[in-house]
Amino acid sequence: MVNYGIYIYSFLYMFTTIIGTFGTKIDQYYYNYDTYWINIFYINICFPINIMIYIYKFSLKELIKKIKNKEIMKKTFLLSIIYTIETGLLYWALIRVPISIYIIGRTFTAFYNVPFSLLYLKKEIHNLYYIGLIILIICYILLGLNLSSFTKTTETIISIIIVLLSGLTTTIYNNIIEKHLEEYEKNKYEMQLFYQLISNLYSYIFLFPISIGFCIKDEIFIKNIYANIIFIITGLSFQLYFLFKIMVLGYTEYASNQIVSAIDLMRRVIANILAYIILKDYYNGEIIGANICMIIGSIFFLIAQIKKKYNKITNEIIMDEII
């Protein structure tokens, strides 16, 4: 029987990530508003939605019980801290480089997934996945050629380095989550909601108060109602996207980190196209070629997972007939 849940969550993950990234750039381009701390403020002000979802599905008593569980909190601490630091740095980088450069640079998670899948998750990698990686190498060659085509400052160079290195941090917490969810098969759904909540908790505790202080001190709150609406939608999307990603990672019968890599490539191409059309964002022949490589790479990643799933089902049928 086909489980359509992974398709639904994959689409929602793609949709919310596009809104989250694109919304930030809309406020930057149309309202000339690229202040770092206002972005952090609106991301975290939507955090309570995570608590509301968990309590609605389970209970406040169960949430408190989970938070008091030292073993669970130890297991989630490292990935939560990595996620919090990465989030803060990536939003700093996002408002300093063209969206096309940011998006293409973030695809490097596909390469980091290989050693983690083989050594940490002990999952096979289909040959088609490697073909997709080879195509992505072409994407990075085109990106490298393109870097000399726009004005660079110290901040943009640091931003590009952050974006490229963030692929490693993203891969680390993605794989940790997938590994942990394999251990929580009986109460997986509850743990998925809890992981979503706890991953965003530290940002809410530490970065949110700081962002409020800077916003008040520098008087950077804006009065334009449309810009505020976009910020709220962006912040809400940012909170929800990680939930949908965790839902996809929960399908441990797949190499779900590889599926996430495929989704990331697709949604980044869509975000790039929207940026070129609506925001008139920077692009040239190399950028277009890099986007084409991302589409082709994504297709290879997805076909690799479909073939693996098909081969697994076929082998199970054959074994049943033999038995």
Q: What is the pLDDT of residues 216-262, one digit of tens each?
A: 876 666 677 888 888 888 889 988 998 999 999 888 777 788 888 88
In 3D space, the residue among 198, 267, 215 whose CA is nearest the CA of residue 41 turns out to be: 215
Per-residue confidence at 313, pLDDT binned at 50, 70, 90?
very low
Span 85-97, average pLDDT:
86
The CA distance from 94 to 115, in Å, is 27
Inter-residue contact 246 to 177 (CB < 8 Å): yes
Distance in Å from the first CA to the final CA of the chain: 21
Instruction: Give residue 124's region: left, alpha or beta (phi > 0; psi -120 to 50).
Output: beta
- The secondary element (H helix, E strand) that includes residue 283 is none
The CA distance from 269 to 136, in Å, is 13
Span 137-159, average pLDDT:
78
Span 85-109, average pLDDT:
83
pLDDT attached to residue 301? 86
Residue 151 CB contacts under 8 Å (≥ 6 apart), including other chains = none
Quote the mean pLDDT of the chain.
Answer: 83
User: Per-residue pLDDT tens for 169-207?
Assistant: 999 998 999 888 888 878 888 999 999 999 999 999 998
Span 99-126, average pLDDT:
85
Q: What is the pTM of this model?
A: 0.81
